[in-house]
Structure 1
Amino acid sequence: SEQNEVAVIIHIEGIEGIQHFDEISQVEDIDVIFIGPYDMSQSLGIPGQVNNPILTKEIEKLVEKCRQKNKHVGIYADNVETARRYKDLGVKYIAVSVDLNIFGRACSSLAEKLKAL
């Protein structure tokens, strides 16, 4: 059967989103608040340092605020260990890697297997 439901997902990827979370979270019909760690690290002045305690603290605070507002939270994780850490925080929607990285790893794995022939 055809699905007629639409999920409304907004992204918080910078300092402005963190600062305006209370207003953002009051918007009705938002299903998921998605956190972008890489863009957020850039906004916080620590580009690419997604394991930096400054960023991890902000992410933990946002996840807790989402929980308090009964909002689902999503986030990007670039590996299984990071995904596990976010899952342990209570995040249920985790995007893992990006198409290009997945494809690149698969090609590298295939090349290694072919070299071993």
Structure 2
Amino acid sequence: MSLRLAPTFADVLADADRAQVGMWLCTGSPLNAEICAGSGVDWLLIDMEHGPNTLTTVQQQLQVIAAYPVTTVVRVPCNEPVIIKQVLDAGAQNLLVPMVASAEEASAAVAAVRYPPEGVRGVGSALARSGRWGRVEGYLQQASETISLLVQIESADAVEHAAEIAAVDGVDGILIGPADLAASMGLAGQQTHPEVMAAVLRVFAAAQSAGKKVGVNAFDPAAAAHYLAAGADFLSASADVTLLARGAEALAARLIPASDAADADTY
């Protein structure tokens, strides 16, 4: 029996006739992942950098999301070959590597997702979900075709090197993180500051000049609309924890008198 893997995010972006809209999964809950997978968004990002996700919860979420017509990206916690190898072996086909600030760092990420001689990924697919335990014919020879790699630009220094990063062969796309970018510019918490948004658009131009897909985190609706109009190929517009927090607050505000809610706020 020979199985085929799903199209990569790079494949989806190449075929899309509009920007792909997604959201983050930060809770580590397969149930929450399944709920979001059926919501109608185009893609989901399982976050190992800031969320409590482990290798086990990542694999569980990949398994439940697979039943839905949505693309899943996993953000690894750092640009580390062993972690990248484990996440790939768990079955992730689309990776986001955070805090990439140079072409050298981007090249290291490319090497980590590829088998020798092109890269340094350890060979263990016969034991892992990545090649479906030997059921994907020719997986070792064609693995790079089943994986897409995004790198995240999220500092002022990275913006200065955006053209070089985008030019690295094997980088399929760039995702910009305005939160860390704003902090690096001395504007922490001001993701929609004009200087921050101008820096984001500089990365857009660099990526597009290199023929690479470009996206951005934009939880603010006005910012999301701005970046879509500016030509974003994809964006993440919210997160499971954000939707839950704001939804719970809205429920409380609608039904509980403000004075009672203030008395209950002891955190």
* TM-score over 0.5 (shorter chain): yes
Q: Name the SS of the counterpart of 1:97 in structure 2.
A: strand
Pair 1:80 & 2:221 matched:
yes
Q: How far apart are 1:113 and its partner, in Å?
A: 5.1
Alpha-carbon distance in 2 for matches of 1:22, 1:65: 5
1:43-54 correspondence runs (5 A): 43-54=184-195
Render the CA deviation track for 1:38-93: whole Å, top value 9, x for unaligned: 10001111111112221111111111111111111111011322211110010021
Describe how 1:32-43 pairs up with structure 2 within 5 A: 32-43=173-184
Matching of residue 2 in structure 1 with residue 5 in structure 2: yes
1:18 Cα shift? Answer: 1.2
Which residue of structure 2 lines up, in the alignment, with residue 58 of structure 1?
A: 199
Q: Percent of pairs identical after alignment?
A: 26
Structure 2: which amino acid aligns with 1:33? I
Question: 90, 93, 102: which one pairs with 2:234?
Answer: 93
Structure 1 consecutive aligned stretches of length 4 or more whose deviation exceeds 6 Å: none
- Asked if residue 23 in structure 1 is aligned to residue 26 in structure 2, the reply is no
TM-score, scaled relative to structure 2: 0.40
Which residue number in structure 1 is paired with residue 107 of structure 2?
none
Higher alpha-carbon Rg: 2
Specify the code of the residue in structure 1 equivalent to 2:216: I
Supply the AA of the counterpart residue of 1:2.
Answer: L
Whole-angstrom CA distance in 2 between matches of 1:63 and 1:89: 8
Sort the Cα spacing of 1:26 and 1:103 in 2 relative to 1 into closer, same or farther, 3 A. same
How far apart, in 1, do the equivalents of 2:158 and 2:256 lie?
48
CA distance in 2, matches of 1:54, 1:82: 13
In the alignment, structure 1 residue 107 sits paired with structure 2 residue 263 = no
Counterpart residue type for residue 30 of structure 1: V
Higher mean C-alpha displacement, 86-95 vs 102-111: 102-111
Count of aligned residue pairs for this structure pair: 116
Unaligned runs of 5+ in 1: none
